[in-house]
């Protein structure tokens, strides 16, 4: 559950926090595309390293590192699953299967790092406003941002439930894989019930505020795309172009 802490926004005043969300969306899209496009380990590591300056400037290393460490279990699963699938059913040699599986694992870490830096430094309110200014209907923008805000909330709640069940004697790490999956049932059921209750509370709150009564909404403020946002976008595009050129100039896979 620690991996989802990288989606929990923490208010800040750094240069990255004050960037227009639309500028950070450009970085998110470009480097996500690069991570999916490349298989080469060194290029993927370079893509991962591209998020480190943002982490340093935004001063979010603590939360970011928790998210990265929390993803190691998924990374291990991705590596093992791909290794077995490619070697036993894909007809690959052991060396090729290991290298391909390693690429998949590094790619996943890249994506976690990119999305973590974005959501840790982007206010949900600003994100909603930026989507509205991009002509996305407010209902869809609000739904997306509420979903993203509830991910870390549900992660925390799941951790509380797990701690409560462990204090009552539930041994979640004991037994084989099937037994461990069954041990999580006492966690999933309360979590699902809590999620439905939370959704009902949000629906009641929205209804009490007459959500949807007015088709034309107004905002108390609008986001402005200024010089620092343009510089950030130019740096992101230049970095994207430099990494993408490796494919065409040096045939990097």
Q: What percent of the chain has pLDDT over 70?
A: 96
178 sits in the region (left: phi over 0; alpha: psi -120 to 50; else beta) called alpha
Residue 234: what pLDDT?
Answer: 96
Q: Is residue 157 within 8 Å of residue 191, measured between CB atoms?
A: yes
Better-scored residue on pLDDT, 94 or 1: 94
**165 pLDDT exceeds 70?**
yes
Q: Which long-range contacts (CB under 8 A, 24 or more apart) does 78-83 make?
A: 78/104, 78/105, 78/108, 79/104, 79/105
Q: Express each pLDDT in 109-125 by its tens digit.
A: 999 999 999 989 998 88
Residue 237: the pLDDT is 94
- pLDDT at residue number 167: 84
Cα 237 to Cα 25, 69, 162, 178, distances in angstroms: 12, 29, 43, 47
Tokens of 22: 């639309």
The predicted model gives 123-150 an average pLDDT of 84
Q: Which of 84, 86, 78 is CA-nearest to residue 112?
A: 78
> Mean of the per-residue pLDDT values for the chain?
85
User: How are the residues of the chain apportioned to helix, strand and coil, as percentages rounded to the nearest 5?
Assistant: 75, 0, 25
- pLDDT tens column, 238-253: 999 999 888 888 777 7
Task: Choose from 45-49, 165-169, 217-221 the range with maximum mean pLDDT.
Answer: 45-49
- pLDDT at residue number 2: 59
Q: Is 67 exposed, middle or buried (0-12, 13-18, 19+ CB in 10 A)?
A: buried
């Amino acid at each position: 559950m620690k991996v989802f802490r990288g989606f929990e926004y923490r208010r800040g005043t750094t240069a990255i926090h004050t960037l227009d969300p639309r500028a950070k969306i450009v970085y998110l899209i470009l480097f996500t595309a690069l991570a999916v496009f490349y298989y080469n380990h060194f290029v993927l590591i370079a893509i991962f390293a591209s998020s480190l300056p943002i982490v340093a400037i935004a001063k979010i290393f603590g939360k970011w590192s928790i998210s990265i460490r929390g993803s190691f279990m998924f990374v291990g699963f991705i590596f093992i699953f791909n290794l077995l699938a490619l070697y036993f059913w894909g007809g690959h040699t052991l060396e090729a299967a290991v290298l391909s599986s390693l690429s998949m694992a590094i790619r996943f870490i890249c994506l976690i790092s990119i999305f973590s830096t974005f959501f840790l430094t982007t206010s949900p309110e600003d994100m909603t406003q930026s989507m509205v200014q991009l002509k996305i209907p407010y209902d869809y923008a609000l739904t997306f941002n509420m979903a993203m805000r509830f991910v870390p909330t549900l992660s925390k709640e799941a951790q509380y439930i797990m701690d409560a069940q462990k204090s009552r004697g539930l041994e979640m790490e004991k037994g084989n894989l099937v037994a461990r999956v069954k041990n999580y049932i006492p966690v999933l059921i309360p979590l699902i019930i809590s999620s439905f209750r939370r959704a009902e509370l949000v629906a009641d709150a929205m209804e009490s505020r007459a959500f949807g009564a007015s088709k034309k909404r107004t905002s108390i403020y609008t986001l402005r795309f200024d010089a620092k946002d343009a510089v950030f976008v130019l740096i992101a595009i230049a970095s994207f172009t430099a990494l993408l050129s490796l494919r065409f100039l040096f045939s990097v896979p």
